[in-house]
Structure 1
């Protein structure tokens, strides 16, 4: 049995339907993996394209559908061009009537929209509200930035505390050195040098401590400003939630009006078809 005869059988047709469905599925999944840059797209996409190529190869051997002589079943198809011209004339007549009815339906639709108070202002207000909601959602990224800045400030405060501990230890060592120097009256020259070094060390430590205090003050100011910004953002988000509730109510009312309008319009079309 050849390929053509096999594809003409019931099993062959079922196999081709499976090949069409599964092959298309693999191609779509491979394309999705490729678009999303997911791992495995280098395997799925070539595999799907290969399966599609195999399907196209076998589709060449599918049997051609038979052309039936419909004029034997419907004699009016065998009347020639005259019958077609008459059919076109009748079709045009009904088409003109349908256009007239379509204008009436359009006018009735505009009237219903006006009665339902669905105007361009409502649609424009809804669009503006959605845009405002999108802007407020975009501002949420500022919270992450504020959190990072706060973590940086905490690290700086920890470093400042460590430096203060080091300064305290240095003062303690300096006090011990002064006690030893005071007890050693015989080494007056060494006492002067040690006292000078200690004074320089204390001055340097005091400078570092002042810098740390200034840095802490600056971080405190920055953090206060950040918390004020966060409070403003939370206030804006609260207002945005209220606006979202109001927009949801308006959208629900709009959906209800459109549903009622669709029902009326469907009844009108049913009545028109019944008249025909």
Structure 2
């Protein structure tokens, strides 16, 4: 499958390269590449899942190195199973196991101690199995006694470690109790100071409230006077607005009359032009008539002389 993934990826990249560079056959190459990718995805659906081996069961010191929340939640359960392997059984809740781990860490109980204890128990089991052989009863008894002594020594060592852990835990609890008492006293003093501050704040608020009420009364009176002035001002403004409307109407009428006057003047100018033309024509006619009369007078004078 790894070779198929590599070959298919190369075909897909070639198809994309042909399409980006707009080389001939880009459509065919892109189709082939996407088809190969679809085939790879189809075949990958039948590939078996990779099995994650839980190495913390063999190496407990690897617990806590994972960033997966599910793995972190499963760590107490693995520690519980490891504790069962060392102690030979036993249940208990996760909280009890966590406290037991903390106690073991504070007591500095190393795996070597558990290994010696387990070796002693294994020897005890071996001795117990050998008790069934009647011929070796004496030897088994001796070995049994020796193993029991070793187991007792291991148990005593474990008991001493647990006692030391208990004393350390008691000392830490005493320190925590003292710190809690100090914090309680500090919180009580802070609460008292806070109550005093609240009382002072309450008095200040009452004083400010009284001042604000008096100020509101004065402001109300001033607002009443301002309202009266505004009413008078509105009346004057309405009167002025009415006068302005009347003036505007008169101005519009004046502009209308002025337009009519302009039209009349325009008509007068046209009539004047016509009058001027007629006067010119009349002058020309009079000149012509004078010429005719002059010629007639001249002819009449010539006729008179001949007689």
**How does the TM-score come out when normalised to structure 1?**
0.31
**How does the TM-score come out when normalised to structure 2?**
0.28
Taking CA–CA contacts closer than 8 Å with sequence separation of 6 or more, which of the two structures ends up with the larger relative contact order? 1
- Find the structure with the greater CA-based Rg: 2
